[in-house]
Structure 1
Amino acid sequence: MRLNEWQLAFEAFLLDETAADAGLGNSLIGGPTLNVGTGLAIYHNAYKARLLDVLRNDFPTIWHWLGDAEFDQLATAYIRQQPSAHYSLRWLGKGFEDFIREHLVREQSAPLAELAALEWAFTLAFDSPAGTPLTIDAMATLAAEEWPTLQVKPAPSLQWLRCAYNSVAIWRSVKAEADFPESQALASPQVCVIWRSELVCSYRSLASAEADALDGLLNQAWNFSELCAELAVTYGEGAALQAVTWLKQWVQDGLLERLQR
């Protein structure tokens, strides 16, 4: 058996529930205290255990919610359907949200999948490139004529999640080791933004008006003048002040980079 054939056979054994084929077994030599079958079983079980451990670490709130047995059952079904295809296990949980939506009935899948999206957003934010976020000092150097056409883009770590359930409260309760709240639908959807500053992930829920304003800048390519014009409908003469107030907060949080044309 050639090396690449042996590697493929070993991979198939790790990913499958069946016993190793004869070719793989015959290519190995047991020791005085560990025969081939037992050694292969150890590898097989250790690999599955490692994958489950990764998903528990990436989705601790879902693990807490479901408990050990139910979480492992769900995670095992996910791994069986979507085996790890990347050299880094960091990407193992990428499809967990979609799997939950497809695998469970809607009444259970909707809040659980949203929670998976929230936990995965923290993973994406933490692992993102550093980027060059705007700073208050950089904003202070802008000439007056630059402000009307100023455009921004999201910092690389910024994640945007529209929540229909109290997922943030549930996640926060596990993080703080507090009482676990009952899952509930929100009266109206709420945007949560997640980002990383240095090596720490932060999050904040946005009121609808602030979320709409930030969405306009990031997803509708508004410049600062257009932001003020949109806010004037609600805030009248105070639109510019409100725009500056929010912009200062977003810059201090590290959510934005300047968009250069």
Structure 2
Amino acid sequence: MPHDYPPRPQQLQQLEGLQQRFAAALLDFEQIKPGLAMFNGNPAVVEDRLAIYRGNLSAIWGQSLGNAFPVIRQLVGDAFFEQIAREYGRLYPSQSGDLNQFGAEFADYLAQSGGVAAYPYFADVARLEWLAHRAYYAADAQVLALADLAPLATYGLEQLRLQLHPACYLHQSSWATAAIWSAHQPGSEQAYPGQLQADTYAIVSRPQWQVQVTEIGKAAFLALQALMKGRLLGEALEIALQEDAQFDIPQELSRCFLAGMFCGAIAVAPE
């Protein structure tokens, strides 16, 4: 019986070369003719079959990006979105077998694309949508309730180090991104913002398997940033009060816990 020996390095190189030529024929129209030499049969028939592959690939790009960026799709319209999805796919080929990761550079693409240069806020809207996309697929963890802190506060609440939930992110923009996002959610009654250039600070979270975006003030944002860096709750609140002397600690803590921001806490003995 014949033995199945592992492929030799030369064979692997040949296979890699064929794969690269096939990918080039799909992604670059100038590489179609050289790519045809890989196949037997009528070149016209082979080219038609490559076109089918290319069409399917474009459809996958459009569907994957549309799932992750539905607001951008609504803003630009279906036809133009399919066009920029094809361009994005050629410029930023997928580096993962998981298509949920395909849009990781989409905001950067929009920031550099001449096709949407008249809409500079698109890139930040896409950054917010990507965080919402990541939050949806993030790992699950038990959400910490505000009442859960009492038995943990051995040395007082200010000595707690809070752990952010894996489905929770912070978003900052100089555009009204959260208001734009909210206005485009299914069933939303929020009007599209009249003033697009506006500082935005927001929490992106998934408290009950549904992603939500919660707008917060700058003081709360700075405090949460500090918590993300491992600062104690007391230190974070001090940062917030330095930014805003009227910072309402009970109200802001309640807002954060209702958003499902935390999944754990550790009491740290004072030095």
TM band (smaller chain): 0.7 to 0.9
**In the alignment, which residue of structure 2 is the partner of 1:51?**
61
- Equivalent pairs counted in the alignment come to 251
Match of residue 141, structure 1, among 148, 151, 155: 151
Which whole-Å CA distance do the structure 1 matches of 2:127 and 2:90 have between them? Answer: 20
Residue 119 (structure 1) shift: 1.1
Residue identity in the other structure for 1:184: Q
Following the alignment from structure 1 to structure 2, what is the Cα–Cα distance between the partners of residues 49 and 84? Answer: 14
1:107-138: CA deviations, max 9, x gaps? 63521111111111110111111234322342
Name the one with the larger helix percent. Answer: 1
Q: What is the match of residue 130 of structure 1?
A: 140
Could you say which residue in structure 1 is the equivalent of 2:200? 190
- Range moving further from structure 2, 196-205 or 14-23: 14-23
**1:208 matched to 2:223:** no
Please say which of residues 248-257 and 193-202 is displaced more in the overlay: 248-257
Matches of 2:79 and 2:143 in 1, distance apart?
A: 43
- The offset of 1:194, in angstroms, is 0.7
- CA change 1:35–1:65 in 2 (3 A) is same
Larger mean Cα displacement after TM superposition, 218-227 or 91-100: 218-227
Q: Which residue of 1 aligns with 2:8?
A: none
Q: Which residue of structure 2 aligns with residue 19 of structure 1?
A: 32
CA contact 2:149–2:265 (8 Å) conserved in 1: no
Q: Secondary structure at the residue paired with 1:138?
A: helix
Go from structure 1 to structure 2 and tell me whether the alpha carbon gap of 1:217 and 1:110 turns closer, same or farther (over 3 Å shift).
same
- CA distance in 1: counterparts of 2:26 and 2:115, whole angstroms: 30
- Determine the C-alpha separation between the residues in 2 that align with 1:171 and 1:246: 22
1:1-261 to 2 correspondence within 5 Å? 5-17=17-29, 18-19=31-32, 21-26=35-40, 35-104=45-114, 108-176=118-186, 181=192, 184-186=195-197, 188-219=198-229, 221-224=231-234, 227=237, 231=241, 234-235=245-246, 242-258=248-264, 260=266
Distance between the aligned counterparts of 1:230 and 1:5, measured in 2?
Answer: 56
CA distance in structure 1 between the aligned counterparts of 2:143 and 2:126, rounded to whole angstroms? 27
| Structure 2 portions without partners, runs of 5+ | 1-10
- Structure 1: distance between partners of 2:42 and 2:251: 70
> Could you tell me whether the CA contact under 8 Å between 2:39 and 2:46 is conserved in 1?
yes
SS of the aligned residue for 2:104 comes to helix
RMSD: 3.3
Cα contact 1:167–1:183 (8 A) shared by 2: no
1:147-173 C-alpha deviation (Å, 9 max, x unpaired): 231111321111211132222232223
TM-score (norm 2): 0.77
- Paired residue secondary structure (1:94): coil
Superposed CA offset, 1:44-88 (max 9, x none): 211122112211222122122112333233222222211122111
| Partners of 2:235 and 2:184 in 1: CA distance | 42
Is the partner of 2:170 in helix, strand or coil? strand
CA contact (8 A) 1:25 1:37 kept: no
CA contact (8 A) 1:191 1:206 kept: yes
The more displaced of 134-143 and 78-87 is 134-143
d(CA) in 1 for partners of 2:239, 2:45: 76
Q: Any idea what SS the aligned residue of 2:32 has?
A: coil
Cα gap change, 1:96 to 1:253, in 2 (>3 Å)? same
Change (3 A) 1:182 1:24: farther
Relative distance call for 1:115 and 1:183 in structure 2 (3 A) is farther
Consecutive unaligned residues of structure 1, counting only runs of 5 or more, are: none
